[in-house]
Chain A
């Protein structure tokens, strides 16, 4: 595809359930980022991948959050035992290299935890 693809676009889940969010970056982009956007808030950095490696996981809000990237392409963000405060838009972005001045974002996954 031409752009960053995220799925699902919307996810409603019950408190305590696990969810998986998927990101397909632009083909050939080596860097991949996950951000979280809460209502009225800026983008909160979660994690960055260069290839399949994540040099810094300190942005993940808690140990309920994990992410992986396989084959230098698709990435999955997993949230275990979801809480209401996890409700937000989860945005994925990719960049052609590790110079992150130009990020290409997907449309995001709107997560609602009831």
Chain B
């Protein structure tokens, strides 16, 4: 079993839809939870960063962490065609040097 599980998709939605992306994990030591966005032929870029449980909002993006269920989510409101990319969840533990990534979910937002 992988440490981090993420549905690879693809996920196709119409412009303006609310998108929900999710990951589950098995290592209870993880404390830092991140979402990276990766456009084609580019490296991942950090989108959201959350410490421990709770919600964090940044513009159209909301990250949620439920440590009791070992489940994290990223919500995108009013999705745009420019949001079309691969979204990777990632996590690490305090003092650790290895960030573990999910396989990434490929998202298509249709105009």
Contact = CB atoms under 8 A, between A and B. Distances in A.
B97 A43 contact: no
Interface of B: 4, 6, 8, 32, 34, 36, 41-46, 49, 51, 88, 90, 92, 96-104
Given A42-B102, A100-B92, A108 B97 contact: no
Interface of A: 4, 31, 33, 35, 40-43, 45, 48, 50, 55-56, 59, 91, 93, 98, 100-108
Contacts, number: 61
B99 A40 contact: no
A42 B4 contact: yes
B44 A105 contact: yes
B6 A91 contact: no
A108 B43 contact: yes
B32 A106 contact: no
Contacts of A50: 97
Nearest to B31: A101
A45 to B, nearest CB: 5
Listed from nearest, the 7 A-B pairs whose CB atoms lie closest are A105-B43, A43-B101, A42-B103, A101-B32, A42-B101, A48-B97, A107-B43
5 contacts: A45-B100, A100-B96, A100-B98, A102-B34, A105-B45
